[in-house]
Amino acid sequence: MIEIHHEQVDKIPLLHIVKATKRQESLPLVIFIHGFTSAKEHNLHYAYLLAEKGFRVLLPEANLHGERNHGLALNEMTYQFWDIVIQTIAELAQIKDEYIAKGLVDRDRIGLVGTSMGGIVTFGALTQYPWIKVAVSLMGCPAYEQFARLQISQLKNTGVNIPFSDEKLEEMYAHLKKYDLTQQKEAVANRPILFWHGKKDPIVPFQPTYEFYEEIKDQNPAHIRFIVDEQADHKVSREAFLQTIDWFDQHL
């Protein structure tokens, strides 16, 4: 039987999914980060199959989402997108440390996966945490600075009044470089990484992610894979869902 526990680390709500018979064991851990405007409960189907494979799975709630929603309008949340991403990266360490301290996690077998914003978080986290052994990004983008500049450009082109000065925006771009995996390719190291992205994605651009893959794929061809969906837009396919489970089963 698979159990779902609603828990909290500091002030971070999360769902903890595990096989009942393995509840108290030290297990390999997979942390799953949801997308922008989504919530932790939306990825329980991933957690269920991963738990069936013997993983402990944690689904944390990103700030301003789900239980942590402060009632902000979408445009207000949009302006805080990168703050949410960076805060989520920081919170990963808190979550990991809590469950290791409880003796519930094999510290040498920790994986990270996310969809959209969660995939972006996954890429950024690889620049910060060598303890992430395996990663999957579904519709994410590793090019933080490039993507942030594109977002602002698109907003300006639609006539939106950006509530930040050009100087503040440049400060933000400079800060994002710390988490930009395309500018820290050495952080990939020998970690198995699975990419999935739809070619017709109108939200998170396909091309920067694929170009990054092309640059790193020869580092370790057996452990770096990109699944291109020629028809998909900004929605994860069932194939991607099943390949995600298999990737962790094989490599973690």
pLDDT of residue 140: 98
Q: How many domains does the chain have?
A: 1
pLDDT of residue 196: 98
Instruction: Report the CATH number at residue 27.
Output: 3.40.50.1820
Residue numbers of the domain that contains 64:
2-251
Could you tell me where the beta strands, DSSP code E, fall in 100-192? Answer: 105-115, 134-138
- Tell me the pLDDT tens digit for each residue of 40-66: 999 999 999 999 999 999 999 999 999
Report residue 52 as tokens: 């069936």
Report residue 69 as tokens: 């929603």
Is the Cβ–Cβ distance between 93 and 129 less than 8 Å? yes
pLDDT of residue 201: 96
Residues in the chain: 252
Return d(Cα 109, Cα 206) in angstroms, integer. 29
pLDDT of residue 156: 85
Angle 168-174-178 from CA coordinates, rounded to 5°: 140
Instruction: Write out the chain's pLDDT in tens, 252 residues.
Output: 999 999 999 999 999 999 999 999 999 999 999 999 999 999 999 999 999 999 999 999 999 999 999 888 888 898 999 999 999 999 999 999 999 999 999 999 999 999 999 999 999 999 999 999 999 999 999 999 999 999 999 988 887 788 889 999 999 999 999 999 999 999 998 999 999 999 999 999 999 999 999 999 998 888 999 999 999 999 999 999 999 999 999 999
DSSP-assigned beta bridge partners for residue 198 = 229
**DSSP assignment of 125-191:** HHTT-TT--EEEEES--S-HHHHHHHHHHHHHHTT---SS-HHHHHHHHHHHGGG-GGG-GGGGTT-
Return d(Cα 237, Cα 1) in angstroms, integer. 26
